[in-house]
Amino acid sequence: MSTENAPEGWLSDFAFDGRGEKAHIGVVLVHGFTGSPASMRPWAHNLVERGYSVRVPKLPGHATKWEDLNQVSWKEWPARVTHDLIELRKTCSKVFIFGLSMGGATTLNVAENNAVDGLVLVNPMIHIPGIQVKFAPLIAMLKKGLPSVGDDIKKPETTEWGYDVLPTKGVLELNKLLKATKANLKSVTAPTLLFHSVDDHVLPVSNSDIIMSKIGSSSKQRIEITNSYHVATLDFDAELIFANALAHLEQWS
């Protein structure tokens, strides 16, 4: 996995102002930790083809070099998504946020603090289980990076164009995001659709279980997907995700 040789423009912010009757509906798509906007671009294009207004932000510290992810604060990630949310509100009557993995936690954090018309979460992250995270500060002092956890994709020869190193100080900030967001999940009231890969090698199922049990949304639906690993937006179940997300948009807009 590497950011080298990615399709032109796929590692950058992406924006499309909608066309036709769907133009007043906006969607922000949020990639995961050490990943890149490339993991959300096929989904974004699916929405663009149908006329929706779309934003795919490049989260601070991502899609450049892995060392940059050791230099950011966790608050910069929801702030970046909130910026796009506010921009879409200027022209859209309804705005949704779709998040993958850590992008799911970022999505939830934004929804805790802003009005959002609906959420779609794909293998979202909300905690780091086990005792190893307790040693993360010490590990970050000793090593700047560890082996990557990215590109957990069942589909052959497919990459999310992310980092091939796990930045250890970035992990500390990630854990701060997760703790702050988990503590306030009941504040999430937007209609929520969650996809969980039953064969995910990055996150345990406890992440989806916690989110589904603790968010305050009166409408929440979970769909188990069986032919994809963690980065399901690029995997065999991508079309299933896209189709159900479209139905979610239609229902709540």
Per-residue DSSP letters for 157-181? Answer: T------SEEEHHHHHHHHHHHHHH
Active site (catalytic) residues: 101, 200, 230
DSSP E strand stretches across the chain: 14-16, 25-30, 53-56, 94-100, 118-122, 145-147, 165-167, 192-197, 220-225
Calpha distance 111→96 (Å, rounded): 10
Calpha distance 44→153 (Å, rounded): 19
CB 191 within 8 A of CB 219: yes
Of the candidates 54, 56, 58, 55, the residue with the CA atom closest to the CA atom of residue 34: 58
**Phi, psi (degrees; rounded to nearest 5) at 193:** -115, 125
